[in-house]
Amino acid sequence: MSIVTVQLGQCGNQIGFEVFDALLSDSHSSQGLCCKRENEAYQASCKERFFSEEENGVPIARAVLVDMEPKVISQTLSKAAQSGRWKYGQHACFCQKQGSGNNWAYGYSVHGPRHEESIMNLIRKEVEKCDSFSGFFIIMSMAGGTGSGIGAFVTQNLQDQYSNSLKMNQIIWPYGTGEVIVQNYNSILTLSHLYRSSDALLVHENDAVHKICAKLMNIKQISFSDINQVLAHQLGSVFQPTYSAESSFHYRRNPLGDLMEHLVPHPEFKMLSIRNVPHMSENSLAYSTFTWAGLLKHLRQMLISNAKMEEGIDWHVRPSLSGPSSLGKMSLNKDLHFNTSIANLVILRGKDVQSADVEGFKDPALYTSWLEPVNAFNVWKTQRAFSKYEKSAVLVSNSQFLVKPLDMIVGKAWNMFAS
Amino acid sequence: TCALWQLLFRVLSPLPAGNALASIALEVQARLVKSALCSQGYPRLALAQLPEDGSQGSRELLLALSWLLARGPVPEQMLAQTRVPLGDEMTVCQCEALASLGPPAPHMEAEGPVDVRHVQWLMGKLRFRWRQLVSSQQEQCALLSKIHLYTRGCHCDQNLGHLSVTEAEMLRDPEGGQKLLRTLEHESRRLEAVLAWRRAEPVFWQWMDTVLGTCAPEAPAAASQPTFLPWVPECGDGELELVVRELQTLEEELREAVERRRVAWEAKARGCGRGPEWSAARRAFRETVEKELGALQRCWEQDSGPAPAHGPHRLVRREDGAAGDRDLQAAELIRTLRSQEACLEAVLRQLQGQCRQELARLAGALPGLIWIPPPGR
């Protein structure tokens, strides 16, 4: 089933480009470690989900590009066309000449309603191209004016007009020391509005991804392009095809729906975060080998110790071994910064994936009292390797990862408001 | 006797699956037969007292079978359950959906205190499944529409004009077509069996009379148990005529009053203005009014009016809009369904309002409690 992506603002459009590029290059990769037939099925599934076909065979991304300035969109369009392997639809973008000045209200209350019809028309055309339509990705930043304000407005419209379709917002969490003065206001306004109209908020923290680029990838001068590529890699490892639960012969038809059903059915807990292992530069990759046991051990520790990446994990944090006394457990966990989860989804890709043991994630100590591991934890597997990594694992988690960052933003916004 | 229990079970069971039934134990089948007959109002107590191992009671079972046969067209109903559809079909009425719900599940007490967050979680999962179901149905409709469009002119039956999915599949896959043919032949044979039964039926009833004659009369309490008696309206012809005439005059008067009001309003509205906001507002008003009218109409028609057509209907796409007598038009159907929807939505809003009031009352009863309602939609 197909997903239509709405790319909003500078952030959304740049990231969107990297995502489509990563998805397509992975699907064409020759290092899939699987037979030809399987590779073809993988390719077909990926293509049907994210691209539509044109007569001359060049895949067209199922996307709508929206920005209030023309510069970023035209750059994005030409980068895609230059790749030669895919492109955006000719009439799939909407831009203006004015910009939003990082003003959330300008995006939400002025630009949004003014251009509502044009934007929704573009989206409708894209949806109509889909034979079977699953839902929307909305890629936007929280801190600016266009992405955040218009993003909130568009998501609300999608809720009204496509109430049965799924909506996942890919939200870019700004740097703690970001340059936009009102970024905390923008963020809070965005989150509060999205909480009512979106089904899932998949959060990508700039700080975390920046550290991955610096420490794991050893990039000296980190550009937005590097950051976006890491992000695209993470998203790709979640949404590329995986086997369905019933059989290893069919790829899952609706990963977006399955993911949402596993992780965000509760209306008050919609925020998700991503962690993945391993992540390194291509040079290092050539000299590394991995075992599932090692990867999963690291991933689990990243989860419970609230680590953003594989380096610098705090191994002292452990699930409490005391009995069912919840009060005692809570205070102990607070001291050790133990991250409790509501639900987790682990996706494994690569060689010998059937032998991977995920029992560590089924420990009841990791989860809340009202949802047992059998309901809270799910694992998806596929033999086909992702993007040159012989083995890779990604964790999508509905847990307390974002509590501290959220508290920080709310605190700063209050301070600014009260001053 | 065992065979009779199994036959009764097959007749009374709502599931058409053939093989699954064979694996159910005789005692279970017998128990289900007893409870199904009881819930349908079967009057003879002797059946309920029969042993469930199939050792005796063939006469009572025969009486039960003939009771069922007398109440409704059982062989035809069973044929309908297992018919092979050649066209793309959908049902209009809700009968099948309601029947497949079965008897209400017994009240199960939870083992301990239930965390409401877990219930909310489960509710959310249900909602997602529901939405995916709707998406899948939309997908199915889009594909059906494509197939019907592309195969225009391919069908030998001019009335239909295009192929259904099954028919297109037959062309694509000849082996599957052979299987379909065999299934149709089975169905044909069953149809002939039913026809043979109908021809020989009078003999059966003559015989059953004699069987009934040999039975001991049942206790008076059971015999006087009210079963399903047809309801006959009490009023005579003359009164009905009077009422009808009064209603007609009332309708005339109302129509005139409505017309006067409408003219006055339009004159007033014409001066109100143009512009996109106004037309959007007008559209919104019109939709709300249509919805409310539909709801009213539906509630009014619930006790009278023609019942919607039962059973499955074949989907046929036609450009010219011509329809036979027994055909249903999609536009008509959509209107009916929309008015039903409006009625149900009204009921839902009312119930939600009641819930909200109850919650507010409960919250108000606890001093010092701050009540934060969930973000509303």
pLDDT in tens, A169-179: 999 999 988 77
For the record, the structure tokens of A35 come out as 């037979």
Q: What Å distances lie between residue A180 and A4, A391, A414, B28, CA to CA?
A: 29, 39, 16, 72
* Residue-level pLDDT at B292: 76
By the CB < 8 Å criterion, does A376 face chain B?
Answer: no
Q: Give contacts of A371 with chain B, Cβ < 8 Å.
A: 117-118, 121
By the CB < 8 Å criterion, does A124 face chain B?
Answer: no
Rounded distance between C-alpha atoms, residue A254 and residue A270, angstroms: 19
Of A164, A268, A368, nearest to B131 by CB-CB distance is A164
3 state DSSP class of B110:
coil
Inform me whether the pLDDT recorded for A25 exceeds 60.
Answer: yes
For the record, the structure tokens of A189 come out as 């306004």
Inform me whether the pLDDT recorded for B228 exceeds 50.
Answer: no
Amino acid letter for position A185:
Y
* Residue-level pLDDT at B299: 67
Inform me whether the pLDDT recorded for B229 exceeds 50.
Answer: no
Work out the minimum CA distance from A375 to partner chain B, whole angstroms. Answer: 10
Q: Give contacts of A369 with chain B, Cβ < 8 Å.
A: 115
Record: contact A131-B142, CB cut-off 8 A: yes
Alpha helix (H) ranges present in B151-236? 165-172, 174-213, 220-223
Q: What sign does the CA torsion over B347, B353, B357, B358 have?
A: positive
Record: contact A165-B131, CB cut-off 8 A: yes
**Confidence (pTM):** 0.77
Record: contact A1-B135, CB cut-off 8 A: yes
Rounded distance between C-alpha atoms, residue A198 and residue A261, angstroms: 14
Q: Which of B116, B123, B127, B131 to mutate to test the interface with A (most CBs of A within 10 A)?
A: B131
Summarize pLDDT for A305-323 with one digit per residue, the tens.
988 888 888 888 887 755 4
For the record, the structure tokens of B120 come out as 């909310």
By the CB < 8 Å criterion, does A161 face chain B?
Answer: no
Contact between B59 and B1 (Cβ < 8 Å) = no
* Residue-level pLDDT at B99: 57
Inform me whether the pLDDT recorded for A248 exceeds 80.
Answer: no
By the CB < 8 Å criterion, does A261 face chain B?
Answer: yes
User: What ipTM did this prediction achieve?
Assistant: 0.90
Query: What is the interface size between A and B, counted as CB pairs within 8 Å?
Result: 61
Cα nearest neighbour of B139 on chain A: A132
Rounded to 5 degrees, what are φ and ψ at B82? Answer: -110, 20
Of A164, A196, A375, nearest to B135 by CB-CB distance is A164
Rounded distance between C-alpha atoms, residue A368 and residue A403, angstroms: 15
Q: How confident is residue A126, by pLDDT bands cut at 50, 70 and 90? A: very high
DSSP code at position B108: -
Taking alpha carbons only, the member of A259, A210, A215, A207 closest to residue A230 is A210
By the CB < 8 Å criterion, does A257 face chain B?
Answer: yes
Record: contact B135-A267, CB cut-off 8 A: no
Cis peptide before A278 (omega within 30 of 0): yes
Q: DSSP labels for A278-316?
A: ----HHHHHT----HHHHHHHHHHHHHTT-SSSTT--TT
Residue A90 has, within 13 A of its CA and on its CB side, a CA count of 2
Rounded percentage of chain B residues whose pLDDT exceeds 70: 77
Rounded distance between C-alpha atoms, residue A226 and residue A234, angstroms: 13
Record: contact A261-B120, CB cut-off 8 A: no
DSSP code at position A401: G
Of A131, A265, A371, nearest to B128 by CB-CB distance is A265
Q: Give contacts of B121 with chain A, Cβ < 8 Å.
A: 265-266, 370-371, 375
Record: contact A164-B377, CB cut-off 8 A: no
Report the relative pairing of strands A2-8 and A133-141 from DSSP bridges.
parallel
Beta bridge partners of A380: A347
Mean pLDDT to the nearest integer, B83-103: 68
Rounded distance between C-alpha atoms, residue A152 and residue A193, angstroms: 6
Q: Which of B119, B132, B147 to mutate to test the interface with A (most CBs of A within 10 A)?
A: B132
Cα nearest neighbour of A255 on chain B: B132
* Residue-level pLDDT at B220: 45
Q: Give contacts of A375 with chain B, Cβ < 8 Å.
A: 121
Q: Which of A134, A156, A164, A195 to mutate to test the interface with B (most CBs of B within 10 A)?
A: A164
Q: What Å distances lie between residue B329 and A127, A212, B317, CA to CA?
A: 28, 61, 10
By the CB < 8 Å criterion, does A132 face chain B?
Answer: yes
Mean pLDDT to the nearest integer, B120-129: 94
Q: Give contacts of B128 with chain A, Cβ < 8 Å.
A: 166, 257, 260-261, 265
Of B115, B125, B134, nearest to A164 by CB-CB distance is B134
* Residue-level pLDDT at A298: 93
Mean pLDDT to the nearest integer, A39-60: 89
Q: Give contacts of A257 with chain B, Cβ < 8 Å.
A: 128, 131-132, 135
* Residue-level pLDDT at B231: 42
Rounded distance between C-alpha atoms, residue A132 and residue B49, angstroms: 56
3 state DSSP class of A96:
coil
Cβ neighbours of B171 (radius 10 Å): 12
What is the CATH architecture of A277-320+336-407? Answer: 2-Layer Sandwich (3.30)
Summarize pLDDT for A154-199 with one digit per residue, the tens.
999 999 999 999 999 999 999 988 778 889 999 999 999 999 999 9
Record: contact B124-A266, CB cut-off 8 A: yes
- Mean pLDDT over all residues of chain A? 89
Q: Give contacts of B118 with chain A, Cβ < 8 Å.
A: 370-371
Q: Which of B111, B115, B116, B117 to mutate to test the interface with A (most CBs of A within 10 A)?
A: B117
Please tell me which residue, B237 or A402, carries the higher pLDDT value. Answer: A402
Q: How confident is residue B189, by pLDDT bands cut at 50, 70 and 90? A: very high
The percent of chain A in helix, strand and coil, each rounded to the nearest 5, is 50, 20, 35
Contact between B79 and B15 (Cβ < 8 Å) = no
* Residue-level pLDDT at A413: 92
| Cα angle B312-B317-B321, degrees, rounded to a multiple of 5 | 105
Rounded distance between C-alpha atoms, residue A20 and residue A5, angstroms: 10
Mean pLDDT to the nearest integer, A105-134: 92
Inform me whether the pLDDT recorded for A295 exceeds 80.
Answer: yes
Rounded distance between C-alpha atoms, residue A213 and residue A222, angstroms: 7
For tokens 């509060």, what's the residue? A192
Domains of chain A: which residue ranges?
A: 2-253, 277-320+336-407
* Burial classification of residue A4, based on how many CB atoms lie within 10 Å of its CB (0-12 exposed, 13-18 middle, 19 or more buried): buried
CATH 3.40.50.300 is held by the domain A2-253: no
* Residue-level pLDDT at B227: 44
Cα nearest neighbour of A259 on chain B: B128
* Residue-level pLDDT at A260: 96
Q: Give contacts of A265 with chain B, Cβ < 8 Å.
A: 120-125, 127-128
Record: contact A132-B127, CB cut-off 8 A: no
Q: What sign does the CA torsion over A171, A175, A179, A182 have?
A: positive
Q: Give contacts of A164 with chain B, Cβ < 8 Å.
A: 131, 134-135, 138
| Cα angle A116-A121-A122, degrees, rounded to a multiple of 5 | 105
